[in-house]
Homo-oligomer: A and B are copies of this chain.
Amino acid sequence: MKDVHAMAPAQGRLTLRQVGVSGIRKPIAIQRADRVITLSGEFSVAVDLPSGRKGSDLSRNAELLAEIVDQTVMRPAESLESACSEIGRELLARHPYATESHVSATAEYFLRKGISEDRTSLENYTLLADAHARRTEDSTVELVRGIGAEAVGMTACPCAMETCRERLAKTYPLLNDPSMKDLPMITHNQRNRTRLMFDLSPGVEVEVDDIIAAIEAAQSSPTYAILKRGDEAQLVLNAHRQPKFVEDVLRDLLAGLSKRFPSLPDSVIVQAKTTSEESIHKYNVAASHQITLGELRENSAQ
Protein backbone atom coordinates (compact mmCIF):
# COMPACT_ATOMS: atom_id res chain seq x y z
CA MET A 1 0.00 0.00 0.00
CA LYS A 2 1.13 3.53 -0.77
CA ASP A 3 2.45 5.21 2.41
CA VAL A 4 0.69 8.57 2.05
CA HIS A 5 1.97 9.80 5.40
CA ALA A 6 5.61 9.44 4.35
CA MET A 7 5.10 11.47 1.16
CA ALA A 8 6.26 15.07 0.89
CA PRO A 9 3.67 17.68 1.82
CA ALA A 10 2.12 19.53 -1.11
CA GLN A 11 3.04 22.94 0.23
CA GLY A 12 3.93 24.56 3.51
CA ARG A 13 7.05 22.49 4.23
CA LEU A 14 7.13 23.33 7.90
CA THR A 15 8.21 21.24 10.83
CA LEU A 16 4.99 21.17 12.85
CA ARG A 17 5.28 21.40 16.63
CA GLN A 18 2.55 19.01 17.70
CA VAL A 19 0.57 16.40 15.77
CA GLY A 20 -1.35 13.72 17.60
CA VAL A 21 -4.56 12.33 19.00
CA SER A 22 -6.63 13.87 21.78
CA GLY A 23 -9.51 12.90 24.02
CA ILE A 24 -8.84 9.13 24.09
CA ARG A 25 -10.75 7.63 27.02
CA LYS A 26 -9.10 4.68 28.78
CA PRO A 27 -9.41 2.87 32.10
CA ILE A 28 -6.11 2.81 33.95
CA ALA A 29 -5.31 0.52 36.88
CA ILE A 30 -2.95 1.97 39.47
CA GLN A 31 -1.16 0.21 42.32
CA ARG A 32 -1.73 1.98 45.64
CA ALA A 33 -0.07 0.94 48.90
CA ASP A 34 -2.91 -1.34 49.91
CA ARG A 35 -4.83 -2.12 46.75
CA VAL A 36 -5.28 -1.63 43.00
CA ILE A 37 -7.63 1.16 41.91
CA THR A 38 -9.09 1.66 38.43
CA LEU A 39 -9.59 5.19 37.13
CA SER A 40 -11.31 6.54 34.02
CA GLY A 41 -8.74 8.66 32.26
CA GLU A 42 -8.47 10.84 29.18
CA PHE A 43 -5.21 11.00 27.24
CA SER A 44 -3.78 13.32 24.61
CA VAL A 45 -0.45 12.63 22.90
CA ALA A 46 1.53 14.40 20.20
CA VAL A 47 4.93 14.49 18.51
CA ASP A 48 6.53 17.01 16.16
CA LEU A 49 6.48 16.34 12.43
CA PRO A 50 9.48 17.12 10.20
CA SER A 51 9.06 19.35 7.17
CA GLY A 52 9.58 16.59 4.62
CA ARG A 53 6.79 14.33 5.84
CA LYS A 54 3.12 14.79 4.96
CA GLY A 55 1.60 13.01 7.97
CA SER A 56 2.31 11.57 11.40
CA ASP A 57 1.64 7.86 11.91
CA LEU A 58 -1.32 8.36 14.21
CA SER A 59 -2.31 4.68 14.43
CA ARG A 60 0.94 4.13 16.34
CA ASN A 61 -0.32 6.47 19.05
CA ALA A 62 -3.51 4.49 19.55
CA GLU A 63 -1.57 1.21 19.53
CA LEU A 64 0.88 2.51 22.07
CA LEU A 65 -1.86 3.77 24.38
CA ALA A 66 -3.59 0.39 24.11
CA GLU A 67 -0.38 -1.43 24.93
CA ILE A 68 0.66 0.74 27.84
CA VAL A 69 -2.66 1.80 29.37
CA ASP A 70 -4.89 -1.20 28.55
CA GLN A 71 -2.17 -3.46 29.94
CA THR A 72 -2.42 -1.87 33.38
CA VAL A 73 -5.51 -4.06 33.92
CA MET A 74 -3.04 -6.95 34.10
CA ARG A 75 -0.01 -5.11 35.43
CA PRO A 76 -1.08 -1.94 37.28
CA ALA A 77 0.83 1.28 36.69
CA GLU A 78 2.71 2.93 39.53
CA SER A 79 0.86 6.20 38.92
CA LEU A 80 -0.86 8.24 36.21
CA GLU A 81 2.32 10.25 35.67
CA SER A 82 4.52 7.16 35.44
CA ALA A 83 2.21 5.93 32.67
CA CYS A 84 2.51 9.32 30.95
CA SER A 85 6.31 9.15 31.17
CA GLU A 86 6.39 5.68 29.66
CA ILE A 87 4.08 6.86 26.87
CA GLY A 88 6.25 9.92 26.27
CA ARG A 89 9.41 7.85 25.85
CA GLU A 90 7.74 5.23 23.71
CA LEU A 91 6.27 7.88 21.39
CA LEU A 92 9.82 8.85 20.41
CA ALA A 93 10.70 5.21 19.82
CA ARG A 94 7.73 4.67 17.51
CA HIS A 95 8.00 7.99 15.66
CA PRO A 96 11.68 7.87 14.66
CA TYR A 97 11.26 11.12 12.66
CA ALA A 98 10.15 13.04 15.75
CA THR A 99 12.37 14.89 18.22
CA GLU A 100 9.83 15.75 20.92
CA SER A 101 6.73 14.17 22.44
CA HIS A 102 3.97 15.61 24.61
CA VAL A 103 1.57 13.58 26.74
CA SER A 104 -1.17 14.85 29.03
CA ALA A 105 -3.78 13.00 31.03
CA THR A 106 -6.57 13.64 33.47
CA ALA A 107 -8.39 11.05 35.54
CA GLU A 108 -11.14 11.06 38.10
CA TYR A 109 -9.85 9.94 41.48
CA PHE A 110 -11.56 9.05 44.73
CA LEU A 111 -10.34 9.24 48.33
CA ARG A 112 -12.16 8.09 51.45
CA LYS A 113 -12.64 11.22 53.56
CA GLY A 114 -15.11 12.69 56.00
CA ILE A 115 -15.60 15.43 58.55
CA SER A 116 -15.16 12.73 61.20
CA GLU A 117 -13.98 9.14 61.17
CA ASP A 118 -17.47 7.67 61.29
CA ARG A 119 -18.83 9.79 58.46
CA THR A 120 -16.47 8.96 55.62
CA SER A 121 -17.31 8.32 52.02
CA LEU A 122 -15.51 8.44 48.69
CA GLU A 123 -14.88 12.05 47.62
CA ASN A 124 -14.04 12.83 44.01
CA TYR A 125 -10.94 14.66 42.75
CA THR A 126 -9.19 15.12 39.42
CA LEU A 127 -5.66 13.86 38.81
CA LEU A 128 -3.48 15.73 36.33
CA ALA A 129 -0.31 14.42 34.72
CA ASP A 130 1.86 15.23 31.74
CA ALA A 131 5.20 14.34 30.24
CA HIS A 132 7.44 16.04 27.73
CA ALA A 133 10.24 13.95 26.19
CA ARG A 134 13.01 15.33 24.00
CA ARG A 135 15.58 13.47 21.94
CA THR A 136 18.98 15.00 22.64
CA GLU A 137 21.90 15.28 20.24
CA ASP A 138 23.48 12.10 21.53
CA SER A 139 20.15 10.28 21.00
CA THR A 140 19.30 9.88 24.65
CA VAL A 141 15.89 11.08 25.84
CA GLU A 142 15.33 13.90 28.30
CA LEU A 143 12.06 13.79 30.15
CA VAL A 144 10.16 16.36 32.22
CA ARG A 145 7.09 15.22 34.09
CA GLY A 146 4.20 17.11 35.63
CA ILE A 147 1.92 15.81 38.38
CA GLY A 148 -0.99 17.56 39.97
CA ALA A 149 -4.54 17.47 41.18
CA GLU A 150 -7.70 19.56 41.39
CA ALA A 151 -9.89 19.59 44.50
CA VAL A 152 -13.27 21.22 45.05
CA GLY A 153 -13.67 22.93 48.43
CA MET A 154 -15.32 25.99 49.95
CA THR A 155 -14.39 29.63 50.52
CA ALA A 156 -15.96 32.24 52.80
CA CYS A 157 -15.35 35.91 51.88
CA PRO A 158 -13.36 37.85 54.51
CA CYS A 159 -14.44 41.27 53.20
CA ALA A 160 -18.23 40.86 53.37
CA MET A 161 -17.70 39.44 56.87
CA GLU A 162 -16.19 42.72 58.03
CA THR A 163 -18.71 44.97 56.32
CA CYS A 164 -21.61 42.87 57.59
CA ARG A 165 -20.21 43.07 61.12
CA GLU A 166 -19.97 46.88 60.91
CA ARG A 167 -23.46 47.18 59.54
CA LEU A 168 -25.09 44.72 61.96
CA ALA A 169 -23.37 46.33 64.96
CA LYS A 170 -25.58 49.38 64.40
CA THR A 171 -28.74 47.30 64.83
CA TYR A 172 -27.35 44.83 67.35
CA PRO A 173 -25.14 46.87 69.72
CA LEU A 174 -24.31 43.76 71.77
CA LEU A 175 -22.03 42.80 68.87
CA ASN A 176 -19.68 45.50 70.17
CA ASP A 177 -19.32 43.65 73.47
CA PRO A 178 -15.72 42.38 73.82
CA SER A 179 -17.00 38.82 74.34
CA MET A 180 -18.47 38.93 70.85
CA LYS A 181 -15.27 39.99 69.12
CA ASP A 182 -14.65 36.59 67.55
CA LEU A 183 -18.25 35.66 66.78
CA PRO A 184 -18.16 34.36 63.22
CA MET A 185 -20.17 36.70 61.03
CA ILE A 186 -22.31 36.13 57.97
CA THR A 187 -20.65 36.46 54.57
CA HIS A 188 -20.97 34.70 51.23
CA ASN A 189 -19.54 31.24 50.50
CA GLN A 190 -18.56 29.69 47.24
CA ARG A 191 -17.72 26.40 45.67
CA ASN A 192 -13.99 26.69 45.07
CA ARG A 193 -11.96 24.70 42.55
CA THR A 194 -8.18 24.70 43.07
CA ARG A 195 -5.47 22.97 41.08
CA LEU A 196 -1.82 22.53 41.89
CA MET A 197 0.79 21.07 39.57
CA PHE A 198 4.49 20.29 39.98
CA ASP A 199 6.98 20.06 37.11
CA LEU A 200 9.46 17.47 38.28
CA SER A 201 12.98 16.64 37.21
CA PRO A 202 14.09 12.97 36.91
CA GLY A 203 14.13 10.95 40.10
CA VAL A 204 11.91 13.34 42.04
CA GLU A 205 8.58 11.93 43.23
CA VAL A 206 5.46 13.52 44.72
CA GLU A 207 2.51 11.67 46.19
CA VAL A 208 -0.78 12.91 44.75
CA ASP A 209 -2.64 12.46 48.05
CA ASP A 210 -0.24 15.02 49.54
CA ILE A 211 -1.09 17.47 46.75
CA ILE A 212 -4.78 17.08 47.51
CA ALA A 213 -4.12 17.55 51.23
CA ALA A 214 -2.18 20.75 50.48
CA ILE A 215 -5.06 22.16 48.44
CA GLU A 216 -7.74 21.29 50.99
CA ALA A 217 -5.68 22.87 53.78
CA ALA A 218 -5.55 26.14 51.82
CA GLN A 219 -9.30 26.46 51.21
CA SER A 220 -11.65 27.86 53.87
CA SER A 221 -12.79 24.25 54.30
CA PRO A 222 -12.78 20.96 52.39
CA THR A 223 -16.25 19.69 51.46
CA TYR A 224 -17.77 16.29 52.14
CA ALA A 225 -20.58 14.18 50.68
CA ILE A 226 -22.06 13.14 54.05
CA LEU A 227 -22.85 15.84 56.60
CA LYS A 228 -25.40 15.23 59.35
CA ARG A 229 -26.89 18.33 60.94
CA GLY A 230 -24.14 18.80 63.53
CA ASP A 231 -21.40 18.17 60.96
CA GLU A 232 -22.85 20.77 58.65
CA ALA A 233 -22.73 23.37 61.43
CA GLN A 234 -19.15 22.35 62.18
CA LEU A 235 -18.06 22.70 58.55
CA VAL A 236 -19.81 26.08 58.22
CA LEU A 237 -18.12 27.22 61.43
CA ASN A 238 -14.72 25.99 60.24
CA ALA A 239 -15.07 27.84 56.95
CA HIS A 240 -16.16 31.08 58.64
CA ARG A 241 -13.20 30.82 61.05
CA GLN A 242 -10.91 30.78 58.01
CA PRO A 243 -12.41 33.33 55.62
CA LYS A 244 -10.40 33.54 52.39
CA PHE A 245 -10.26 35.42 49.14
CA VAL A 246 -8.99 33.40 46.16
CA GLU A 247 -5.81 35.43 46.70
CA ASP A 248 -5.54 33.98 50.23
CA VAL A 249 -6.18 30.43 49.02
CA LEU A 250 -3.42 30.81 46.45
CA ARG A 251 -0.88 32.39 48.80
CA ASP A 252 -1.59 29.99 51.67
CA LEU A 253 -1.31 27.05 49.29
CA LEU A 254 2.07 28.23 47.93
CA ALA A 255 3.42 29.33 51.33
CA GLY A 256 2.72 25.89 52.76
CA LEU A 257 4.55 23.92 50.08
CA SER A 258 8.07 24.24 51.51
CA LYS A 259 7.02 22.56 54.74
CA ARG A 260 4.82 19.97 53.09
CA PHE A 261 7.40 18.96 50.50
CA PRO A 262 10.75 19.61 52.21
CA SER A 263 12.72 17.12 50.12
CA LEU A 264 11.72 18.52 46.73
CA PRO A 265 14.59 20.40 45.03
CA ASP A 266 14.53 24.15 44.44
CA SER A 267 14.28 23.65 40.69
CA VAL A 268 10.73 22.25 40.84
CA ILE A 269 8.26 24.57 39.10
CA VAL A 270 4.86 24.98 40.76
CA GLN A 271 1.71 26.10 38.95
CA ALA A 272 -1.42 26.87 40.91
CA LYS A 273 -4.85 28.20 40.00
CA THR A 274 -7.90 28.70 42.17
CA THR A 275 -11.40 29.61 41.00
CA SER A 276 -14.37 30.51 43.17
CA GLU A 277 -17.81 30.08 41.65
CA GLU A 278 -19.23 33.14 43.38
CA SER A 279 -22.59 32.83 45.09
CA ILE A 280 -23.19 36.61 44.88
CA HIS A 281 -22.29 36.91 41.18
CA LYS A 282 -23.11 34.96 38.02
CA TYR A 283 -19.38 34.89 37.16
CA ASN A 284 -16.27 33.44 38.81
CA VAL A 285 -13.23 34.97 40.46
CA ALA A 286 -9.84 33.39 39.90
CA ALA A 287 -6.19 33.75 40.86
CA SER A 288 -3.16 31.96 39.40
CA HIS A 289 0.59 31.92 39.84
CA GLN A 290 3.71 30.10 38.68
CA ILE A 291 6.94 29.96 40.69
CA THR A 292 9.82 27.63 41.58
CA LEU A 293 10.13 25.99 44.98
CA GLY A 294 13.46 27.79 45.30
CA GLU A 295 11.83 31.20 44.89
CA LEU A 296 9.12 30.18 47.36
CA ARG A 297 11.76 29.20 49.92
CA GLU A 298 13.70 32.41 49.43
CA ASN A 299 10.51 34.34 49.82
CA SER A 300 9.46 32.62 53.05
CA ALA A 301 12.96 33.07 54.49
CA GLN A 302 12.66 36.85 54.27
**A residues whose Cβ falls under 8 Å from a Cβ of B:** 1-5, 9-14, 16-27, 37-40, 44, 46, 49, 54-56, 58-59, 62-63, 65-66, 70, 108, 110, 112, 120-124, 152, 154, 157-160, 162-164, 166-168, 172-175, 177, 179-180, 183-191, 221, 223-230, 232-237, 239-240, 245-248, 250-256, 275, 277-291, 296, 299-300, 302
Contacts and interface: CB of A to CB of B under 8 A. Distances in A.
B4 A162 contact: yes
Contacts of A9: 247-248, 251
Contacts of A63: 121, 226
A232 B59 CA distance: 10
A124 B44 CA distance: 15
Contacts of A225: 24, 62, 65-66, 281-283
A55 B250 CA distance: 11
A189 B286 contact: no
Contacts of A245: 5, 54-55
Contacts of A24: 225, 282-283
A25 B302 CA distance: 42
Contact of A122 (B66, B237, B287, B290): B66
B227 A280 contact: yes
A16 B62 contact: no
Contacts of A58: 285
Nearest to A250: B16
A214 to B, nearest CB: 13
A247 B49 contact: yes
A163 B223 contact: no
Given A56-B287, A66-B225, A167-B233, 20 more contacts: A9-B248, A10-B248, A13-B302, A17-B289, A18-B289, A19-B247, A19-B287, A20-B286, A55-B247, A58-B285, A59-B226, A62-B283, A66-B122, A163-B230, A173-B179, A184-B186, A185-B186, A186-B186, A188-B189, A221-B280
Contacts of A27: 37-38, 110, 122
A283 B255 CA distance: 29
- 8 A-B pairs closest in CB distance: A12-B251, A12-B255, A66-B121, A163-B233, A38-B38, A25-B124, A40-B40, A189-B279
A168 B290 CA distance: 40
B282 A70 contact: no
A223 B4 contact: no
A226 to B, nearest CB: 5
A192 B152 CA distance: 17
